[in-house]
Copies of this chain bind each other. A is one copy, B any other.
Amino acid sequence: MALFTLCARAAAQSPILPPPDSVSLEKLGLMNSFPPVGDQIVNNENRGKYPQMRWVLQHTREVVPTRNIRRGNSPVSELPAAPRDFDGLVFEDDKGQKITVAEWQKNTYTDGLIVLHKGRVVYERYSNQMKAETPHLLFSVTKSFTGLLAAQLIHEGKIDANSVVSKYVPELAESAWGDMTVQQVLDMTGAVRFREVYTDPTSEIFPYLYASNLLPVPTGYAGPKTIYEFVKTLKKEGEHGAGFVYRTVHSEVLGWIVSRVTGKHFADLLSERVWSRLGMQEDAYVMVDAVGTPLQGAGLNASLRDLARFGEMLRRGGEFNGQRVFDRSVIDELRKGGDREKFKASGMSFRPGYSYHNQWWILHNTDGAFEASGVHGQMIHINPAAEMVVVKLSSHPVAGAGLTQALTLRAWDALAKAVRTLDK
């Protein structure tokens, strides 16, 4: 089982999954005694393993160094409640079987699910010991925050999307990013040799996982020890701009550019521009590497309701809580999406018709939906036509979205249909 697989791939065949009830934190009793003993222990060595990872996703900062993203002292913004019981809502899954929304959540190891319609909370559920105040690891949803900040800085004229990366980060001149444009980084069409083959020990994924602290460094590891030392080693392979290939390292490089241009740490920038302005309920936080560099491709942690506020801000075109947080044109540009032909290079046939633009997934459906997505089932889904925002946080045993995406799309449709009936 390729855990912490940052690249979302289709599973070649359906793996055998543990029954969700058998790996609930309630059942396992992980870290629930003083001290935990034996199988209850989650530590640096087993934190990437399943089911221990289920605990980690709600307790990231208890096992690794992190940096706080402060909400500040502004009042918490209102998320008005208009609860509807969607538990029993039935839809047809990708195998043609009837399934309820409650079953879908359980079967996909959901920790938290919230549905907003016209800014009102119509459905909200927590499982597996998650609470409203629990920050949850978001994995690649992090990229979409990085992308949005970068797009805003481009809009403000602080970054030139058509400049090469080495203009901002000269240290990358000899790497794959030396002659890659910022826009190619944003859209992941830059050509970089980065193999994610877990059966090949020479794959670049391993030094990335260790340099980023996503996995503990094995004894004797002699490779790069920080994210930026690692990305400097990566070489060009192919032609920039030819096709979309999903690579987490692009987001790390994008983060480097943003920090260089602003002179600010991602955590501080996100606090200033987003967390302190949306009336968030909780501080968020981000994993950092051995020299404090944030994991801008995978390290963000936030609560379900705060992500709903963020999604609602996007649905409203960049405004929420009486504040304009991102320019409308930045959101409009994002929603246009990228090149759907180039997207096919990704091999992500489980995301039919999608494109990837400015670190966001665009569905190109009639509702104009777009989303952020992270391994093990993290999602922010925005459906402007249905005036709906859905956030789903999970601890699925399978990393990649390939196994579950067809079902996810059907769930989005069922929820959009359900919220539309609320208007009538």
Contacts and interface: CB of A to CB of B under 8 A. Distances in A.
Contact of A290 (B43, B59, B288): B43
A76 interface: yes
A293 B34 contact: yes
A110 interface: no
Contact of A291 (B43, B76, B133): B43
Contact of A41 (B42, B44, B291): B291
A140 interface: no
A77 to B, nearest CB: 11
Interface string A54-76: 00000101111111101011011
Interface in A183-207: none
Contact of A61 (B35, B44, B68): B68
Given A65-B64, A291-B35, A283 B283 contact: yes
Contacts of A210: none
A292 interface: yes
A interface, over-half SS: loop
Interface residues of A, number: 38
A165 to B, nearest CB: 14
A242 B286 CA distance: 49
Interface of A: 31, 34-36, 41-44, 59, 61-68, 70, 72-73, 75-76, 133, 226, 228, 256, 259-260, 263, 265, 281-283, 288, 290-293
Nearest to A262: B34
A63 to B, nearest CB: 5
Contacts of A226: 35
Given A36-B292, A43-B291, A256-B34, A67 B61 contact: yes
A133 B62 contact: no
A61 B73 CA distance: 21
Given A61-B61, A70-B282, 15 more contacts: A31-B291, A31-B292, A34-B260, A36-B291, A44-B290, A59-B67, A61-B65, A61-B66, A61-B67, A62-B65, A62-B66, A62-B292, A66-B66, A72-B133, A283-B283
Given A41-B291, A283-B283, A290-B43, A65 B67 contact: no
Nearest to A267: B62
A335 B64 CA distance: 39
A136 B263 CA distance: 23
Contacts of A288: 62
A50 to B, nearest CB: 19
A263 B291 CA distance: 36
A268 B266 CA distance: 28
A203 B253 CA distance: 46
A193 to B, nearest CB: 22
A41 B35 CA distance: 34
18 contacts: A31-B291, A34-B259, A34-B263, A34-B293, A35-B228, A35-B291, A36-B291, A36-B292, A42-B292, A43-B290, A61-B66, A62-B65, A62-B292, A65-B65, A73-B76, A73-B281, A75-B75, A283-B283
A323 B66 CA distance: 33
Nearest to A66: B61
Nearest to A264: B34
Which 9 A-B residue pairs are closest in the complex by CB-CB distance?
A34-B259, A35-B228, A62-B67, A35-B291, A63-B65, A43-B290, A35-B293, A62-B65, A73-B76
Q: Which of A75, A265, A291 has the most CB of B within 10 A?
A: A291
Contacts of A256: 34
A70 B44 CA distance: 24
A292 B73 CA distance: 29
A64 B64 CA distance: 6
A168 B44 CA distance: 29
Nearest to A229: B35
Nearest to A43: B290
A288 B44 CA distance: 12
